[in-house]
Amino acid sequence: MMKHFVKPFVKQTIFIAAFSAISISLSAQEGNEQAYVAAKKEITEMYGTFPSFFEAFPKYALPGAWQSFKELNGPGSIEQKNRELIGLAVASQIPCSYCIYFHTVSAKAMGATDEEIKEAVAQGAMVRHWSTVINGAQIDLEEFKIEFQGMLNYMVEKSKTQ
CATH of residue 110 = 1.20.1290.10
pLDDT digits (tens, 9 = 90+) for 43-91: 999 999 999 999 999 999 999 999 999 999 899 999 999 999 999 999 9
Segment 144-156 mean pLDDT: 97
Examine the domain organization and report whether 120 and 41 are in the same domain.
Answer: no
Q: How far apart (Å, rounded) are the C-alpha atoms in residues 129 and 6?
A: 66
pLDDT digits (tens, 9 = 90+) for 69-81: 999 989 999 999 9
Segment 102-108 mean pLDDT: 98
Categorise residue 111: left if φ over 0, alpha if ψ from -120 to 50, beta otherwise. left
Q: How many domains does the chain have?
A: 2
Q: How far apart (Å, rounded) are the C-alpha atoms in residues 112 and 105?
A: 9
In a domain? residue 97: yes
> Is the pLDDT assigned to residue 23 strictly greater than 50?
no
The pLDDT value recorded for residue 94 is: 94
In a domain? residue 31: yes
Range of the structural domain that residue 42 is part of:
8-51
The pLDDT value recorded for residue 29 is: 58
Examine the domain organization and report whether 33 and 81 are in the same domain.
Answer: no
